[in-house]
Amino acid sequence: MIPIRGTVRSETYPIVNTLLIAVNVLVFFVQLSQGQGLNKFIYVYGLVPARYTIPQISAYFTTGQQVISFLTFMFLHGGFLHLLGNMWFLYIFGDNVEDRLGHLRYLVFYLLCGLASGISHLVLNLHCELPTIGASGAIAGVMGAYFVLHPRAKVLTLVPIFFFFQFIELPAFVFLGIWFLFQFLSAAGSSSQMGGIAWWAHIGGFVFGIVFLKLFEILPETGAGKKLRAVTRKRTTPRIQVIRTGSFGDDPDLYGVISVSEREALFGARKLVNIAKGFKKRTFLLTIPQGISNGSKLRLGGMGRETREGGRGDLYLKVQVSD
């Protein structure tokens, strides 16, 4: 399952989330520049449990290296696909958590989740000599927070079915619940000395993400955080929109609502629209004309229900202009 987007709209631009993605990408290029020294680089800046439990190994590292690896390990990745997968999940779920906590608190939250995931991996794999790297643990914390904040939000998911791909809306608690169950089963069936994915880091990050969210919601947001939130307030609506349609009796026409911002209503926009049900063509690109007003209706001919005569009704989308 590949998440495409959540249906919960964030009210502010995720500047910290975007910055974290940029830093991860930048560090990946630094890794690529290491050449033959890459393995040493990863062993120094990755998290290796045995470095803290076996004196013969810890003697090769300075105190600074031992401390800094708890931060640096979460910005290293084992390859392009590893980086891409992590950054995509962070992009999908991070904006809503940042929107809820505020930019500055979200940054601290993310780093704490990464730290907690690293400690979880260390405690459960004390003598492992393999380096653990990746943002997965920190991102798992973000997903844990999303699980609590928006359990019934819909996650538009791309699901491969044999040789075809289908868009399906799954409740967040179902999508994230399946993800967490997979992590737990994988962790239970793996050995601490085996290479590959640090499953316990994912589990620890997810659980601590829920705990840290509760703690951060108690703490008040700072004045600087409130000012930054005001500056980064969004003035556009989501690029991808899921529309739920309805009809009246035997009327072959379908009716739905599409949201646009005041700016988009004035200058026009293009949206990728996914219709939850109602007709054969489920996903299409829709052009919002310039100068459209609140309450206006867009008519999409032939996109309604099939009639008894074999024809099709129309789809009418009511334009809702948000502030």
Give per-residue pLDDT as tens, 156-185.
887 777 777 777 888 899 989 888 888 878
- Tokens for 135? 């943002």
* Other beta carbons within 10 Å of 78: 18
For residue 276, the model assigns a pLDDT of 66
214-247: per-residue pLDDT in tens? 999 888 887 787 888 888 877 777 777 778 888 8
Of 198, 231, 264, which closes a domain?
231
Asked if residue 220 and residue 110 are part of one domain, the reply reads yes
Helix (H, G, I), strand (E, B) or coil at 49: coil
- Work out whether strand 2-6 and strand 240-243 pair parallel, antiparallel, or are unpaired: unpaired
CATH number at residue 198: 1.20.1540.10
Task: Compute CA 133 distance to the chain's CA centroid, rounded to the nearest angstrom.
Answer: 19
Which residues face 159 on adjacent strands?
Answer: 166
CA distance 22 to 83: 11
CA distance 198 to 205: 11
> What ranges make up the beta strands (E) of the chain?
2-6, 154-161, 164-171, 240-243, 254-261, 269-275, 283-288, 297-300, 315-322
Asked if residue 273 and residue 148 are part of one domain, the reply reads no
- Cβ pair 172, 152 in contact under 8 A: yes
Which residues face 322 on adjacent strands?
Answer: 261
The per-residue pLDDT string of the chain (323 residues; one tens digit each, 9 = 90 and over) reads 788 878 787 888 899 999 999 999 999 999 999 999 999 999 999 999 999 999 999 999 999 999 999 999 999 998 999 999 999 999 999 999 999 999 999 999 999 999 999 999 899 888 888 899 999 999 999 999 999 999 988 888 877 777 777 778 888 999 898 888 888 787 666 654 444 567 788 888 999 999 999 999 888 887 787 888 888 877 777 777 778 888 888 888 889 899 888 888 888 988 888 776 544 447 788 899 999 999 999 998 888 888 888 888 888 999 998 76
CA distance 134 to 117: 11
For residue 194, the model assigns a pLDDT of 47
Counted domains in the chain: 2
CATH number at residue 256: 2.60.260.20
Asked if residue 69 and residue 37 are part of one domain, the reply reads yes
CA angle 197, 200, 203 (to 5 degrees): 110
Asked if residue 198 and residue 54 are part of one domain, the reply reads yes
For residue 246, the model assigns a pLDDT of 84
CA gyration radius for the chain? 23
For residue 76, the model assigns a pLDDT of 95
Asked if residue 217 and residue 103 are part of one domain, the reply reads yes
* Other beta carbons within 10 Å of 313: 19
From residue 186, give the alpha-carbon distance in Å to each of 83, 189, 200: 20, 5, 9
Asked if residue 253 and residue 220 are part of one domain, the reply reads no
Asked if residue 290 and residue 182 are part of one domain, the reply reads no
Asked if residue 310 and residue 175 are part of one domain, the reply reads no
Of 203, 231, 259, which closes a domain?
231
CA distance 202 to 208: 10
DSSP state of 130: S
For residue 195, the model assigns a pLDDT of 46
Domain carrying residue 56: 2-231
